[in-house]
Amino acid sequence: MDSSALPAGWAAEPKWDGYRAQLAVDAGGRVLLRSRRGTDMTASFPEMRAAALAQLPEETGLDGELVVWEWDRLAFERLQQRLARRGATAAQAAREWPAHFVAFDLVHRGDDLTGWPYARRRAALGVRFAERGVTTPWVLCPSTTDPALAREWLSWTSAGVEGLCFKRLEESYRGGVRSWRKYKNRMNCIRRNIRQPGG
């Protein structure tokens, strides 16, 4: 979308420079980390599996963004480099460039929450994080209905925030459907292209 203005009845979240990911811990303690397109990324990010087993209850399903920090900015290049690694090289990469999971939705909590409106799922996500006392590598994505705060997040481009995602407060979870509105910060897109080879 062309405007960064927050519409009434919607919430804004920062748009992170990472991989959209879904993480599930099933009833038997099996952990699955997969991309938006369904690619299994669990073996590439062993620290996420270990952290899920240590901090999240069984039958939890999260939607979010997988990111890697390099000093004070998000390093998409490091995240890309990690995706092809397995076994010992994945474990080494996890020590050098650990991933974080920025959670923005709770879709399963022992029962299916996808029919709940976004506002209710977000509240449940906040409660789950607080009750479990989760820490790194889990991060609760900020969410706001305050237009001034949403505009302030656009100044986070140097840290790797690409823009804003807008989500309708009353909308149910619609996997595989592009129902969010996205505003990309033009300056961050220019910076990212410059960092890419040939940019």
Return the active site residues: 15
172, amino acid identity: S
Pick from 34, 99, 104, 100: which is nearest to 63 by CA? 104
- Token pair for residue 91? 């474990």
Half-sphere exposure of 14 (CA within 13 A, CB side): 24
CB 62 within 8 A of CB 132: no
Chain centre to alpha carbon of residue 40 = 16
Q: At what angle do helices 87-96 and 46-55 cross, to 10 degrees?
A: 70
CB 117 within 8 A of CB 128: no
